[in-house]
Amino acid sequence: MKTATVLANLLVLLVFVLAALLNEVDPNLYYRSVQEDEYLEWATFWGFIAGTYYYSANALQQYRQAGTFPWFVLGLAAFCLLVALEEISWGQRLLGYRAPDYFLEQNYQQEFNLHNVVDTGYRKLVMQLVLLGYGVILSALSLVPPVRRFLQRVRIVAPPAHLIVSFLAMSLVYAWYPWGHTGEWVEFTMALGFVFAAVLRRAPGETYERGSQTRQVLVPVIVILMLTVLTVNVVRHGRSADPATVQATRLEIDALSADFNSGQIHTRCGIHKRLYTFMQEYRQPYFLEGNYAQLTRASGAAARGEYLLDPWNAAYWVRHKCSNGKLVLFVYSFGPNQRRDSTDWELVGDDIGAYLIKKP
């Protein structure tokens, strides 16, 4: 047991070491790795799916052995499933459907998920409550005999106390936020933390399965990584590159370029936003009456055009970056593969876009 929990803690800490090294050695690769539909996001998804499986299995085992309703463990399974589906926006990008209008208006990512509708401060608070409440405080309280007996009586299963190291590390890194998109790495480690808590701690009164506890830690990690690699490659090669859709996107990019060049839209250095968010935050109503708006209305895509979405129902983006005499301004879509391939300065991959300014 001790070896297994040490290994579990090391694996969690290794994720943060990898993030720090990647950010230092190859910032562009780091930037791409934290984007939607990349390995990190899918690893987080499969991690929480694994948590759903293990907690469900634990709940069934608890019910069979104790004959009591495993409400707390089932709640953990439901939580993991909810987070997994939220992570991939309930399959929106995978299936290419348009999110309901409420989410297009209220969700700054214009995706069908609940957590991005909530204010950032509240999201961070909930994250810390989960990490500290479940992973640290509940584990620590379970070490106190009277509290442990009470938890057993009400069928609350705490994570192994040795995992306090991992959950505390997640909380500290999340509060510190040392790299851009630190939250993506913390979400992945939280998925691992829930998996390890499920495989290393059974319900009250249950015994551990025979076999190596170390193997029980390694097997889900290996499976998660294998499913992640498989999913990313299937998704990348399975998305439509229909020539008509690509051509429609190019025409819309041309129309958006004309809108920017009309003098009716104003931007500045340091902007990298979805066009709808840019329009709302910087009060740029011309998008709803200019060339792009007229084109989408004429093509029967007015409902999509109202939210500045591309033909794959994903957001158009604008990037305006200036540094050390360099200047670039471009508008773009993620293209058929629906993931960002472009860097801070260049349109690359199958992203479909146009430069409005590029110096030198």
Last residue of a domain, one of 180, 205, 238: 238
pLDDT of residue 230: 93
Tell me, what DSSP letter sits at residue 271?
E
Rounded distance between C-alpha atoms, residue 173 and residue 185, angstroms: 9
pLDDT of residue 291: 95
Which residues, in sequence order, are CB contacts of 58 under 8 Å at separation 6+? 70, 73, 157, 198, 202, 203
Residue type (1 letter), 231: T
Rounded distance between C-alpha atoms, residue 288 and residue 130, angstroms: 41
Q: Which domain holds residue 341?
A: 243-359
Query: Are 223 and 270 part of one and the same domain?
Result: no
Whole-model pTM?
A: 0.79
Query: Are 101 and 232 part of one and the same domain?
Result: yes
Beta bridge partners of 318: 273, 331
Query: Are 226 and 128 part of one and the same domain?
Result: yes
Task: Give the Å distances, CA to CA, from 120 to 40, 56, 79, 107.
Answer: 21, 30, 20, 11
Query: Are 227 and 272 part of one and the same domain?
Result: no
Last residue of a domain, one of 173, 207, 238: 238
pLDDT of residue 240: 63
pLDDT of the chain along its 360 residues, tens only? 578 889 999 999 999 999 999 999 998 888 888 877 789 999 999 999 999 999 999 999 888 888 889 999 999 999 999 999 998 888 777 777 776 766 666 665 666 666 666 667 888 899 999 999 999 999 999 999 999 999 989 999 999 999 999 999 999 999 999 998 999 999 999 999 999 999 987 544 444 454 467 888 999 999 999 999 999 888 777 666 788 899 999 999 999 999 999 999 999 999 999 999 999 899 999 999 999 999 999 999 988 999 999 998 889 999 999 998 899 999 999 998 888 888 889 999 889 999 999 988
Last residue of a domain, one of 216, 238, 260: 238
Query: Are 112 and 182 part of one and the same domain?
Result: yes
pLDDT of residue 36: 78
pLDDT of residue 111: 67
Q: 7, 214 in Cβ contact below 8 A?
A: yes
Q: 47, 224 in Cβ contact below 8 A?
A: yes
Q: Which residue matches tokens 């998660």? A: 224
Query: Are 232 and 268 part of one and the same domain?
Result: no
Residue type (1 letter), 20: A
Q: What is the largest CA-CA distance in the chain?
A: 72
For 146-184, write each residue's pLDDT tens digit. 999 999 899 999 999 999 999 999 999 999 999 989 999
Total structural domains in the chain?
2
Rounded distance between C-alpha atoms, residue 128 and residue 199, angstroms: 23
Query: Are 231 and 334 part of one and the same domain?
Result: no
Query: Are 175 and 70 part of one and the same domain?
Result: yes
Least Cα distance to 342 among 243, 253, 226 occurs for 253
| Residue 317: its H or E element | strand 317-323
Rounded distance between C-alpha atoms, residue 82 and residue 315, angstroms: 24
